[in-house]
Structure 1
């Protein structure tokens, strides 16, 4: 079995990770456009780490303008085997307060107009998203979050909204009625694209606020979010280091590593060579068979 290369996508407040050794910022081009930033590549013990700040250093890019295809593509090009995504979220339930972490296991996608697939006319594929996260990586993340001092909830549905505006009260109550636990603006289409790139994916939601559903309480604003970010980021950095140091020496194979084997549908003679060229990193293994 090959070793691990863990891709870490840092969300709001997590713009770097302490403890990565022999690290350097590495530029990587993508046929899907510009990624959010260069990637910081280094080591934690025997584990190779590739860190990408989702919004760019300095938080330059809004949620609707993120080029998620380029971000996932460059992680794949840099040899990432598994992705740990860290995101700031709002809570839609009372028992997941600000400062707590949720290890999401389901998503509802309410985003609009975002490029959500690497595939299309000339090379069609349909991956399963029934179980959208990697259970083994999510379990490791849960253990690491607890070890890092975070109140941790295992499992939960993440409502991905468009943004950049926060929810209306009616929307917040609607999402609660659907059984959603947390709400954010960035996990979709990121999780879908990770699956298309055959990358096991886990998402840790760091709660900053209660959105706007609580009666008699002020609605969320940026000042409230920023006030919670620093404490969350410290626990997130601790979580990341605990996870990296707890990984088994050898990376076991995952069914997600080969999920495109049952997803490609376009006949070989009908495939668009221009699209195939863009898919060289994310789908090269399956297309080369």
Structure 2
């Protein structure tokens, strides 16, 4: 058994958890640059916690410019074992209404302007993301959401778009009708892929703010409406996160789904051919094997 540490990546209000003991903002340096912001660390109900504002306090990073590699590396360096991603999303399903939460279990990645891997020339690795979220962690988020009275849906496919603009009507209809996506957002990719490369368990909680542009009775996405719904969702998200320490515990057994061993057979570059500069950058992400 190892010490557990829950890392929460979210937006405004999701790093202000009542009862967080020893709360301290820590600046973390990484070989991939600076993370989005300092990271708030502390202990909640005997479990170590870390809260990272994905866009930075004051919302200074667009979905494209979020330093995803630095964020995941920084959490890993701090000792995080389990990452909970909480993000605002649009819905493609009538039953997934604004104010509802969705425990995401699949992704369609339509981003194109972001660095998506810690690995590359000098050290090549291929991890599986067939099942990109951790069922154990997702189940804990589901139970925590239900316990707070949130209307939560178990399972859903998240379409990750580049942004920062919202979808056209034609795109929205295609993602919903032809591709079978359930929610749409701009930030969970490459975040989920990088968490897998870093051997971190990852769960994604989508907070529904709108119906995107496909819905005939709701029209185009209105940012004012999104922000109003988001504020209510943030309060529910804080309640959900506050219940996770009791569900996950302070000690961590090996992940039954192998998330924490994702690199076991993934690194293909022979040891003698590996670039030492690249290897040095991977000290936190892949230090267990390298």
Q: TM (normalized to structure 2)?
A: 0.97
Q: Which shifted more, 111-120 or 11-20? A: 11-20
Higher helix share: 1
How far did 1:19 drift? 2.5
Residue aligned with 1:193, SS:
helix
Correspondence for 1:180: 181
* 5+ residue gaps, structure 2: none
Partner of 1:251: 252
The CA distance in 2 between the partners of 1:273 and 1:235, in whole Å, is 46
262, 277, 281: which one aligns with 1:278 = 281
In 1, the alpha carbon distance for the partners of 2:166 and 2:45 equals: 40
Per the alignment, residue 102 of structure 2 pairs with 102
CA contact (8 A) 2:96 2:208 kept: yes
Contact 1:117/1:196 (<8 A) preserved: yes
Tell me, what secondary structure is at the counterpart of 2:72?
A: helix
How far apart in 2 are the matches of 1:14 and 1:42? 14
Task: Give how far 1:229 is off.
Answer: 0.9
Which deviates further from its counterpart, 19-28 or 192-201?
Answer: 19-28
Instruction: Report if the CA contact (8 A) 2:146-2:152 is conserved.
Output: yes
Runs of 4+ in 1 over 6 A off after TM superposition: none
CA RMSD, Structure 1 to Structure 2 (Å): 1.1
Shift of 1:63: 0.4
The 1-side partners of 2:15 and 2:219 are apart by: 28
More deviation, 79-88/9-18: 9-18
Within the alignment, does 1:239 sit opposite 2:240 as a pair?
A: yes
SS in 2 for 1:260: coil
Partner of 1:160: 160
- Conserved 8 A contact 2:13-2:238: no
Does 1:125 pair with 2:107? no
TM-score normalised by the chain length of structure 1: 0.97
Deviation track 1:81-133 (CA, whole Å, cap 9, x = no partner) reads 11011010000110000000000000000001200000000000000000000
- 1:169-227 Cα offsets, whole Å, 9 max, x none, are 00000000211100000000000000000000000000000000011432112101111
